[in-house]
Amino acid sequence: MWYSMFEWSKEKADVWLQRTDGRFNFKVEEQMSKGEKPNLLNQAALAGGLQHRGVEECKMGAPMETVYQKMKEQYTTLMEQKDSLGDSAYTDLNDWLGQTFSNLKFDPREPTPQETFKLSLQDLYKTCCQALGVEESIMDVKYPDYITLGIGTMKLHLWQLGYTEHSHIRGATSAYNVFKCMEKDCLYGGNTKKYPIEILPFMQGGFPGQVVEAFSVMTSIGSSVVTSAYIICCNIIRAGFFEGVVDASHPEQELARCVKSLMEVFAIYGPVEGIKEAVFKSNKGNIEAGKRPTPTILSYAASYNRVADDIQQKKKTRQTRKELIMKQVKEHNMIEKTARAKSKQRISKH
């Protein structure tokens, strides 16, 4: 894949060209014939087949429902793309985001795609605030203190949350769930102020008082919400919707209000002792939250894989990965069975 090229070379580019087709090939070959180094980040948008018709509709004053339908068509087509072997080019939208905005450096003199993405998101946020005539919230958010009881709160910017599979405790979220969130986001804007996502602020190395780095916070509950916000913002950035805008018109203000609400993310977090407890609370909490999609069997598999990794890294064990995962599943079922029994007892007493 193009994002796996640690250093530029014609040989590596030729390998990539053999695995792709269409406009991507044409543009890259055209640049190479002129002795230029292809801009793989820009051409990746062509490889994804994104034409940003949804945002173009919004520019013409179309309702946000139309914008959503156009975006959904584009990303549905993206998910149906095949590679040269006939397999799916992307397993899910988190995979597409990870491939498109990787943290691999192709040229030491240039920023990584991920760094460029961060700056683009920050510029988009500033532009939306300017279009609405409001002040930007503080950019340098810091990690809060540890808590042992109760619930803590954080107000984050979108670019501080991770977007790859590894940034979500239960793994990547399904495209179907993301599209459902996208529809609500386009019609009503972000709603994390009322229904905050749940995060694991210290799971990836952060500590109290430290500035939250870009794409570093892990999501426990609300992966579809986060992914939806990234997909919408990515579409708007690549379409250049706000470029050259001085006095925002009504459609532009409507979209700016929507985007700003998506980029200001309200989150809660609780005390967890380790990855095992975090996984159980995430799976349990997602089931109990009526407005959240129920975890799929793949979500369970991804989350309990994390637990197995953690056990194997921290202590010696003779159990295989499969045995470790099945042990977590049995413990989960036992805890759930006990909880349901206690619930029935409380109901019968009343």
For residue 316, the model assigns a pLDDT of: 61
Specify the pLDDT at position 224.
Answer: 94
Which of 271, 303, 333 delimits the end of a domain? 271
The pLDDT score that the predictor gives to residue 116 is: 94
Give pLDDT tens digits for 305-322: 666 676 677 666 767 767
Is the same domain home to 260 and 178? yes
**In terms of domains, do 95 and 163 share one?**
yes
pLDDT tens readout for residues 43-52: 444 334 344 4
Q: Is the pTM of this model over 0.95?
A: no
**One domain for residues 30 and 57:** no
| pLDDT for position 8 | 44
146 confidence band (pLDDT: 50, 70, 90): confident
Whether 157 and 288 map to the same domain: the answer is no
CA distance 193 to 172: 23
Is the same domain home to 159 and 26?
Answer: no
Q: Do 229 and 290 sit in the same domain of this protein?
A: no
Q: Mean pLDDT across the stretch 214-226?
A: 93
Q: What one-character-per-residue DSSP string does 27-95 give?
A: HHHHHHHTTPPP-HHHHHHHHTT---HHHHHHHTT--HHHHHHHHHHHHHHHHT-B-TTSSBS-SSHHH
Are 251 and 302 in a shared domain? no
For residues 212 and 90, state if they share a domain: yes
Q: What phi, psi does 17 have (nearest 5°)?
A: -65, -30
Same-domain status, 286 and 265:
no
Q: Look at 97-106, 161-170, 229-238, 302-311 and tell me which has the smallest mean pLDDT.
A: 302-311
More confident residue, 344 or 206: 206
pLDDT at 272: 75
Give the mean model confidence (pLDDT) for residues 55-59: 53
Residue pair 153/268 in contact (Cβ under 8 Å)? The answer is yes
CA distances from 304 to 159, 282, 330 (A): 27, 11, 11
Domain boundary among 271, 286, 313: 271
Q: What mean pLDDT, rounded, does the chain reach?
A: 75
- Res. 192: pLDDT tops 90: yes
Lowest mean pLDDT across 65-79, 181-195, 228-242:
65-79
Are 26 and 121 in the same domain? Answer: no
> Taking 60 as the threshold, does the pLDDT of residue 58 lie above it?
no
pLDDT at 241: 76
Structural domain of 124: 53-271
Structurally, the chain folds into a number of domains equal to 3
Same domain, 148 and 36: no
Comparing 2 with 80, which gets the higher pLDDT? 80
Give the closest residue to 238 by CA, choosing from 100, 110, 134, 34.
Answer: 100
Q: At what angle do helices 223-239 and 113-132 cross, to 10 degrees?
A: 80
Q: What pLDDT, on the 0 to 100 scale, is given for residue 271?
A: 80
List 161's β-bridge partners, or say none: 217
pLDDT at 330 over 80: no
How far CA 207 is from CA of 154, 160, 184, 204, in Å, comes to 14, 15, 34, 9
Examine the pLDDT at 42 and tell me if it is beyond 50.
no
- For 107-140, the pLDDT digits (tens) are 788 899 999 999 999 999 999 998 888 998 888 8
Q: Are residues 282 and 263 in the same domain?
A: no
pLDDT at 350: 53
Give the range among 9-18, 114-123, 219-228 with minimum mean pLDDT.
Answer: 9-18
Q: Is the pLDDT of residue 142 over 70?
A: yes
